[in-house]
Amino acid sequence: MKQYINEFKTKILKSKLFIAFSVLIFVLTGISLFNYSAPKEDKLYADLFNKSYRIFSVPLPDKLDFCGEPVPLNSFDVRERLDREMLVNVFWQSQTIMLHKRAARWFPVIEPILKRNGVPDDFKYLSLIESGFQNVISPSDAVGFWQFLEETGKKNGLEVSIEVDERYSVEKSTEAACKYIVESKQKLGSWTVAAASYNMGVTGIKRQIDYQENSNYYDLMLNNETSRYLFRILAIKEIMKHPKKYGFYLRKADLYPPIKTYKVQVDTTVSDWVVFAKSQNVSFKILKIFNPWIREKQLTNKTKKSYQVELPMPGYDDYEHLLAESEVRSSDTAYVIDYEEMLRDSGREFNSNPRIHKVALGETVESIAKKYDCDAAIIRSKNKLKETEQPKVDSEIIVGC
C-alpha cells in the first residue's frame, strides 16, 4: 500500500513539474513573440502615419492693411504676431466656420450703419472677434455684439436699465460703437490705434503712447491681450476675404441667411410682452430672439419713450424660403463653390463622358443623385440649377459622375 502511495506522489510531482514547465515555455514564447512583433508593427504604423498625415504651416499674405493703413509685415515681430493668430483661426476650424455662418446674417445689418457714420468697413471684424456675433456677457460684464460695459454704453447713448438694455440691440449698439470709434480716432490719430483703444480704453492706450513716445500701434509695448487684439481682427479679415485660400469651402446653403424684418413702434406701457407677442402672431421666444434688449416681462415706460420692436416678415419659419429669398452679395462671391475647380485641385476630374438622365415624374436632383451614387451639388453645378431648383419632367440632365 505504501508503495502505491509513493508511486502516486511521484506521478503528481512529475505532473506539476510538467505543467510548470509548459507554463514557463508559454510565457517565454509569448514574450519572444511580443518582442519580435511589436517593433515590426510599430514600424508599419509609424510608416503609415508618416505617409498619410500632413499638416502645413499657414502662408501669410504679401500685403495687409487695416482701414487702408498698411501693416508692416517686413517686421519680424509683426509677422510672428500675425502668424500666431492665422494659425489659431485657420486650425480652429469649427469656430471659424461658425463666424462665416453668422457673418452672412449680420454683416448686412452692420455694414450700412458703419458707412453712414463714416467708420471704415473693417470695423465689422472687430465686432465679430469681440462677440462671435452672439449676445454674450464677458467676465467683466461687457454685453452684446460690441461688448459694451454699462458705463460706456450709457456714455454713448444706450439705455441700460432693469427692463431695457440697448447693448443687446445690434442696430443701436452699432451706432454707439461708431460714436466711440470716431471719437477715439479723433483723439488718437489713426484707425488702427482707435481699434486697439476699443480693447484697452482711450485713456490706457494714450498713457502708453505718451510714456513710450510712440503713436504707432505696431511699435508699442502693450499688455498681451491688446498686443494680440489687432492681429486677431486682421487674421479673421484675411480668412473671411479669401476663405478658399485657407481651405474653407462653404456653400450659400451653409450660411445663415439674413431674415427680413419690420418694426412696430411702442410708446406706451406694455404690461405683458407675452400678450404683446401673441397680438403680433409670434411666440415670446421669437419676440426675444429679435429683440434681446427686452429684459423683463413688462415695459413700464413712464416717460412714453418710443421703442422700435423688430419682428420677422412672414416666411421666417420656412428655412427653404429664407434660402431662396437671400441673395449672394458681391462680397460673398468666395462662398460660391466651383465644384469642377475643387475636383481639379484635389486631383480628380468630372467624367468626360457623363451619363445623361431623362427626368421622370416625381424625380428630384436628390433622388437622381442617389440613384447614380453621385453628389447632388455636382449635378446642380453641371446643369446650372439653383440650390432649390428642380429639373423639369422629360428634360435631359447631365449626371456628371
* 327-336 pLDDT tens trace: 655 444 455 5
What is the per-residue burial (b if ≥16 Cβ within 10 Å, else e) of 114-123? beeeebbebb
| Cα separation, 112 vs 100, whole angstroms | 19
**pLDDT at site 150:** 96
Bridge partners for 396 per DSSP: 358
- Regarding pTM above 0.85, the answer is no
| Cα separation, 96 vs 89, whole angstroms | 6
| Cα separation, 203 vs 184, whole angstroms | 10
Q: What contacts 227, CB < 8 A, 6 or more positions away? A: 81
**pLDDT at site 8:** 43
* Assigned architecture for domain 338-398: Roll (3.10)
Q: Which residues of the chain have pLDDT under 70?
A: 1-40, 327-354, 400-401
Q: What contacts 248, CB < 8 A, 6 or more positions away? A: 93, 96, 97, 100, 239
Distances (CA, A) of 362 to 228, 365, 394, 399: 56, 10, 11, 17
* 40-66 pLDDT tens trace: 677 778 877 887 788 899 999 999 999
**pLDDT at site 53:** 83
Per-residue HEC secondary structure of the chain comes to CHHHHHHHHHHHHHHHHHHHHHHHHHHHHHHHHHHHHHHHHHHHHHHHHHHHCCCCCCCCCCCCEECCEECCCCCHHHHHHHHHHHHHHHHCHHHHHHHHHHHHHHHHHHHHHHHHCCCCCCHHHHHHHHHCCCCCECCCCCECCCCECHHHHHHCCCCECCCEEHHHCHHHHHHHHHHHHHHHHHHHCCHHHHHHHHHHCHHHHHHHHHHHCCCCHHHCCCCHHHHHHHHHHHHHHHHHHCCHHHCCCCCHHHCCCCCCEEEEEECCCECCHHHHHHHCCCCHHHHHHHCCCECCCCECCCCCCCEEEEEECCCCCCHHHHHHHCCCCHHHHHHCCCHHHHHHHCCCCCCCCCCEEECCCCCCHHHHHHHCCCCHHHHHHHHCCCCCCCCCCCCEEECCC
**pLDDT at site 90:** 96
Of 225, 223, 230, 195, which is closest to residue 208 (Cα–Cα)? 223
Query: Which numeric CATH code is attached to 65-254?
Result: 1.10.530.10
| Cα separation, 96 vs 107, whole angstroms | 15
| Cα separation, 137 vs 95, whole angstroms | 18
| Cα separation, 322 vs 387, whole angstroms | 12
Side-chain-side CA neighbours of residue 274 (13 Å):
2
Distances (CA, A) of 365 to 21, 356, 360, 379, 391: 71, 13, 11, 7, 7
Taking the domains of the chain in order of start, what are their residue ranges? Answer: 65-254, 261-312, 338-398
**pLDDT at site 145:** 97
Q: What contacts 308, CB < 8 A, 6 or more positions away? A: 263, 264, 265, 266
